[in-house]
Amino acid sequence: MKFSVITINYNGSAFLEQTIKSVLELQSDDVELEYIIVDGGSTDGSIDIINRYHDELAHCIVEKDDGPAHAINKGFNLASGDIVCWLNSDDIYYGGALTRVQQAFAENPGASMCFGGCDIIDEQGGEIRSSITRFKELFYPLSRRFTYQCINYISQPSLFFRRDIVEKVGPIRQDMAAAWDYEFILRLWHHGPAKRIPGRPLAAFRWHDQTISGQHFRIQFLEEYDAARKDAGSFSIQAGIHFLVCWGIIGIYSAMSTLRARSGNNKQ
Protein backbone atom coordinates (compact mmCIF):
# COMPACT_ATOMS: atom_id res chain seq x y z
CA MET A 1 0.00 0.00 0.00
CA LYS A 2 1.44 3.33 -1.10
CA PHE A 3 0.86 6.63 0.71
CA SER A 4 0.87 10.04 -0.95
CA VAL A 5 1.45 12.69 1.73
CA ILE A 6 1.05 16.31 0.66
CA THR A 7 2.46 19.20 2.66
CA ILE A 8 1.41 22.70 1.67
CA ASN A 9 3.43 25.68 2.79
CA TYR A 10 3.67 29.43 2.46
CA ASN A 11 6.15 31.26 4.67
CA GLY A 12 5.89 28.55 7.30
CA SER A 13 9.57 28.16 8.04
CA ALA A 14 9.04 28.31 11.81
CA PHE A 15 7.62 24.78 11.93
CA LEU A 16 8.22 23.41 8.42
CA GLU A 17 11.27 21.30 9.25
CA GLN A 18 9.48 19.62 12.15
CA THR A 19 6.63 18.75 9.81
CA ILE A 20 8.94 17.34 7.12
CA LYS A 21 10.86 15.22 9.61
CA SER A 22 7.66 13.85 11.13
CA VAL A 23 6.59 12.63 7.68
CA LEU A 24 9.91 11.21 6.49
CA GLU A 25 10.44 9.32 9.76
CA LEU A 26 7.31 7.25 8.98
CA GLN A 27 8.87 5.61 5.93
CA SER A 28 9.88 1.98 6.48
CA ASP A 29 10.17 -1.35 4.71
CA ASP A 30 6.43 -1.82 5.29
CA VAL A 31 5.33 1.70 4.31
CA GLU A 32 5.84 3.08 0.80
CA LEU A 33 5.87 6.86 0.92
CA GLU A 34 5.43 9.42 -1.84
CA TYR A 35 6.06 12.82 -0.24
CA ILE A 36 4.87 15.90 -2.11
CA ILE A 37 5.53 19.49 -1.02
CA VAL A 38 3.65 22.38 -2.59
CA ASP A 39 5.04 25.80 -1.70
CA GLY A 40 3.26 29.00 -2.71
CA GLY A 41 6.45 30.95 -3.34
CA SER A 42 7.73 31.50 0.19
CA THR A 43 10.17 34.31 0.96
CA ASP A 44 11.01 33.45 4.59
CA GLY A 45 13.64 30.74 4.27
CA SER A 46 11.22 27.87 3.65
CA ILE A 47 12.83 27.07 0.31
CA ASP A 48 16.22 26.53 1.96
CA ILE A 49 14.59 24.05 4.35
CA ILE A 50 12.82 22.23 1.51
CA ASN A 51 16.04 22.04 -0.50
CA ARG A 52 17.77 20.23 2.38
CA TYR A 53 15.31 17.38 1.94
CA HIS A 54 14.95 17.58 -1.83
CA ASP A 55 16.38 14.12 -2.50
CA GLU A 56 13.77 12.54 -0.21
CA LEU A 57 10.82 14.19 -1.93
CA ALA A 58 8.87 12.59 -4.77
CA HIS A 59 7.66 15.98 -6.04
CA CYS A 60 8.21 19.60 -5.11
CA ILE A 61 6.31 22.55 -6.56
CA VAL A 62 7.37 26.11 -5.77
CA GLU A 63 5.10 28.65 -7.42
CA LYS A 64 2.39 31.13 -6.59
CA ASP A 65 -1.01 29.62 -5.83
CA ASP A 66 -4.48 30.84 -4.94
CA GLY A 67 -4.48 29.60 -1.37
CA PRO A 68 -4.29 26.33 0.57
CA ALA A 69 -7.17 24.57 -1.23
CA HIS A 70 -5.55 25.29 -4.60
CA ALA A 71 -2.19 24.04 -3.30
CA ILE A 72 -3.71 20.78 -2.05
CA ASN A 73 -5.44 20.23 -5.38
CA LYS A 74 -2.04 20.59 -7.08
CA GLY A 75 -0.80 17.84 -4.79
CA PHE A 76 -3.81 15.65 -5.62
CA ASN A 77 -2.93 15.95 -9.31
CA LEU A 78 0.54 14.54 -8.61
CA ALA A 79 -0.44 11.86 -6.11
CA SER A 80 -0.16 8.25 -7.24
CA GLY A 81 -0.57 6.47 -3.91
CA ASP A 82 -3.41 4.20 -2.85
CA ILE A 83 -3.97 6.40 0.20
CA VAL A 84 -3.77 10.19 0.17
CA CYS A 85 -3.56 12.76 2.95
CA TRP A 86 -2.29 16.25 3.55
CA LEU A 87 -0.39 17.76 6.44
CA ASN A 88 -0.06 21.51 6.84
CA SER A 89 3.42 22.90 7.41
CA ASP A 90 2.85 23.54 11.12
CA ASP A 91 1.32 20.15 12.00
CA ILE A 92 3.04 16.83 12.72
CA TYR A 93 2.50 13.08 12.55
CA TYR A 94 3.33 10.80 15.45
CA GLY A 95 5.51 7.73 15.12
CA GLY A 96 3.86 4.69 13.56
CA ALA A 97 0.91 6.66 12.17
CA LEU A 98 1.09 5.35 8.60
CA THR A 99 1.62 1.76 9.72
CA ARG A 100 -1.56 1.93 11.80
CA VAL A 101 -3.49 3.55 8.94
CA GLN A 102 -2.26 0.89 6.52
CA GLN A 103 -3.49 -1.85 8.83
CA ALA A 104 -6.88 -0.15 9.24
CA PHE A 105 -7.46 0.07 5.49
CA ALA A 106 -6.33 -3.53 5.00
CA GLU A 107 -8.88 -4.67 7.58
CA ASN A 108 -11.62 -2.38 6.19
CA PRO A 109 -11.35 -2.42 2.38
CA GLY A 110 -14.79 -0.84 2.00
CA ALA A 111 -13.88 2.28 3.98
CA SER A 112 -13.47 5.50 2.02
CA MET A 113 -11.36 7.05 4.77
CA CYS A 114 -9.76 6.42 8.14
CA PHE A 115 -9.17 8.83 11.00
CA GLY A 116 -7.74 8.79 14.48
CA GLY A 117 -7.11 11.01 17.44
CA CYS A 118 -5.35 14.35 17.08
CA ASP A 119 -3.77 16.48 19.78
CA ILE A 120 -3.80 20.26 19.72
CA ILE A 121 -0.35 21.70 20.43
CA ASP A 122 1.09 25.18 20.89
CA GLU A 123 4.06 26.80 19.20
CA GLN A 124 6.45 25.00 21.55
CA GLY A 125 4.84 21.61 20.93
CA GLY A 126 3.03 21.32 24.27
CA GLU A 127 -0.53 20.03 24.34
CA ILE A 128 -3.22 22.68 24.78
CA ARG A 129 -7.02 22.85 24.54
CA SER A 130 -7.33 19.29 25.78
CA SER A 131 -10.97 19.95 26.68
CA ILE A 132 -11.74 20.56 22.98
CA THR A 133 -9.91 17.36 22.04
CA ARG A 134 -11.82 15.34 24.64
CA PHE A 135 -15.10 16.90 23.46
CA LYS A 136 -14.47 15.75 19.88
CA GLU A 137 -13.55 12.28 21.10
CA LEU A 138 -16.99 11.95 22.73
CA PHE A 139 -18.42 11.54 19.23
CA TYR A 140 -16.00 8.83 18.09
CA PRO A 141 -18.19 5.92 19.29
CA LEU A 142 -21.13 7.48 17.39
CA SER A 143 -19.11 8.04 14.22
CA ARG A 144 -21.24 7.95 11.10
CA ARG A 145 -22.27 10.31 8.32
CA PHE A 146 -25.34 11.50 10.30
CA THR A 147 -23.17 12.48 13.27
CA TYR A 148 -20.62 14.24 11.07
CA GLN A 149 -23.40 16.29 9.45
CA CYS A 150 -24.32 17.45 12.95
CA ILE A 151 -20.83 18.39 14.13
CA ASN A 152 -17.29 18.36 12.78
CA TYR A 153 -15.44 16.05 15.17
CA ILE A 154 -12.71 14.78 12.80
CA SER A 155 -9.41 16.68 12.97
CA GLN A 156 -8.00 16.98 9.45
CA PRO A 157 -4.33 16.11 10.24
CA SER A 158 -5.47 12.65 11.37
CA LEU A 159 -7.52 11.97 8.20
CA PHE A 160 -6.48 9.56 5.42
CA PHE A 161 -8.54 8.64 2.34
CA ARG A 162 -8.43 6.46 -0.76
CA ARG A 163 -7.22 8.09 -3.97
CA ASP A 164 -9.84 6.35 -6.11
CA ILE A 165 -12.53 8.03 -3.99
CA VAL A 166 -10.89 11.43 -4.52
CA GLU A 167 -11.14 10.85 -8.26
CA LYS A 168 -14.89 10.31 -7.81
CA VAL A 169 -15.67 13.28 -5.56
CA GLY A 170 -13.47 15.78 -7.36
CA PRO A 171 -11.09 18.45 -6.03
CA ILE A 172 -11.37 20.55 -2.91
CA ARG A 173 -13.53 23.60 -3.40
CA GLN A 174 -11.46 26.74 -3.86
CA ASP A 175 -14.36 29.15 -3.40
CA MET A 176 -14.59 28.56 0.37
CA ALA A 177 -12.56 30.62 2.82
CA ALA A 178 -12.06 28.17 5.69
CA ALA A 179 -14.26 25.04 5.77
CA TRP A 180 -13.24 23.49 2.48
CA ASP A 181 -11.79 20.44 4.30
CA TYR A 182 -15.09 19.77 6.12
CA GLU A 183 -17.09 20.06 2.88
CA PHE A 184 -14.61 17.72 1.16
CA ILE A 185 -14.97 15.11 3.91
CA LEU A 186 -18.76 15.26 3.60
CA ARG A 187 -18.37 14.34 -0.07
CA LEU A 188 -15.97 11.50 0.74
CA TRP A 189 -18.57 10.05 3.09
CA HIS A 190 -20.98 9.45 0.17
CA HIS A 191 -18.63 6.75 -1.16
CA GLY A 192 -18.08 4.65 1.93
CA PRO A 193 -17.83 4.79 5.72
CA ALA A 194 -15.07 6.29 7.81
CA LYS A 195 -13.08 3.84 9.93
CA ARG A 196 -11.90 5.14 13.30
CA ILE A 197 -8.44 4.04 14.42
CA PRO A 198 -8.49 3.63 18.22
CA GLY A 199 -5.59 4.18 20.55
CA ARG A 200 -3.03 6.93 20.78
CA PRO A 201 -3.34 9.99 18.46
CA LEU A 202 -2.04 9.81 14.91
CA ALA A 203 -1.15 13.49 14.57
CA ALA A 204 -1.07 16.90 16.19
CA PHE A 205 -2.62 20.13 14.99
CA ARG A 206 -0.63 23.22 15.92
CA TRP A 207 -2.88 26.07 17.02
CA HIS A 208 -1.62 29.64 16.89
CA ASP A 209 -3.01 33.04 15.95
CA GLN A 210 -2.08 32.65 12.26
CA THR A 211 -4.03 29.42 11.68
CA ILE A 212 -7.34 29.56 9.83
CA SER A 213 -9.22 28.55 12.96
CA GLY A 214 -7.34 31.20 14.90
CA GLN A 215 -8.01 34.04 12.48
CA HIS A 216 -11.33 33.14 10.83
CA PHE A 217 -13.20 30.87 13.23
CA ARG A 218 -16.54 32.67 12.69
CA ILE A 219 -16.30 32.23 8.91
CA GLN A 220 -15.15 28.64 9.34
CA PHE A 221 -18.07 27.52 11.49
CA LEU A 222 -20.66 29.35 9.41
CA GLU A 223 -19.27 27.69 6.28
CA GLU A 224 -19.38 24.32 8.02
CA TYR A 225 -23.04 24.85 8.87
CA ASP A 226 -23.83 25.82 5.29
CA ALA A 227 -22.01 22.72 3.97
CA ALA A 228 -23.85 20.44 6.40
CA ARG A 229 -27.21 22.04 5.52
CA LYS A 230 -26.64 21.49 1.81
CA ASP A 231 -25.44 17.92 2.34
CA ALA A 232 -28.18 16.79 4.75
CA GLY A 233 -31.03 19.05 3.61
CA SER A 234 -32.09 22.49 4.83
CA PHE A 235 -34.89 21.14 7.04
CA SER A 236 -33.13 18.01 8.27
CA ILE A 237 -32.51 17.17 11.91
CA GLN A 238 -28.77 17.34 11.20
CA ALA A 239 -29.03 20.91 9.88
CA GLY A 240 -30.97 21.99 12.96
CA ILE A 241 -28.44 20.43 15.32
CA HIS A 242 -25.52 21.88 13.38
CA PHE A 243 -27.08 25.36 13.54
CA LEU A 244 -27.10 25.19 17.33
CA VAL A 245 -23.58 23.71 17.41
CA CYS A 246 -22.31 26.42 15.05
CA TRP A 247 -23.46 29.35 17.13
CA GLY A 248 -22.54 27.65 20.38
CA ILE A 249 -18.94 27.15 19.22
CA ILE A 250 -18.73 30.69 17.82
CA GLY A 251 -19.83 31.99 21.22
CA ILE A 252 -17.24 29.91 23.06
CA TYR A 253 -14.42 30.85 20.66
CA SER A 254 -15.38 34.52 20.85
CA ALA A 255 -15.23 34.40 24.64
CA MET A 256 -11.84 32.66 24.52
CA SER A 257 -10.54 35.28 22.09
CA THR A 258 -11.72 38.08 24.36
CA LEU A 259 -10.04 36.48 27.39
CA ARG A 260 -6.75 36.11 25.48
CA ALA A 261 -6.90 39.76 24.42
CA ARG A 262 -7.54 40.91 27.98
CA SER A 263 -4.75 38.71 29.27
CA GLY A 264 -2.38 40.20 26.70
CA ASN A 265 -3.37 43.75 27.65
CA ASN A 266 -2.86 43.02 31.32
CA LYS A 267 0.71 41.87 30.64
CA GLN A 268 1.62 45.12 28.89
Residue 35 lies in a domain: yes
Q: Is 91 helix (H, G, I), strand (E, B) or coil?
A: coil
Residue 80 host element (H or E)? none
Residue 180 lies in a domain: yes
- In this prediction, residue 256 carries a pLDDT of 77
Look at the pTM and tell me if it is higher than 0.85. yes
- In this prediction, residue 213 carries a pLDDT of 55
Residue 215 lies in a domain: no
CATH code of the domain covering residue 56:
3.90.550.10
Residue 218 lies in a domain: no
- In this prediction, residue 216 carries a pLDDT of 75
Residues of the chain with pLDDT under 70: 209-215, 260, 263-268
Phi, psi of 89 (to 5 degrees): -75, 10
Residue 54, Cβ density class (10 Å: 0-12 exposed, 13-18 middle, ≥19 buried): exposed
Residue 187 lies in a domain: yes
Q: Round to whole Å and give the CA distance between 14 and 152.
A: 28
Residue 183 lies in a domain: yes
- In this prediction, residue 247 carries a pLDDT of 94
- In this prediction, residue 253 carries a pLDDT of 80
Residue 251 lies in a domain: no
- In this prediction, residue 209 carries a pLDDT of 67
Q: Round to whole Å and give the CA distance between 189 and 130.
A: 27
Tens digit of each residue's pLDDT (9 = 90 or more) over 152-193: 999 999 999 999 999 999 999 999 999 999 999 999 999 999
Tens digit of each residue's pLDDT (9 = 90 or more) over 21-51: 999 999 998 999 999 999 999 999 999 999 9
Residue 186 lies in a domain: yes
> How many structural domains comprise the chain?
1
Structural domain harbouring 102:
2-210
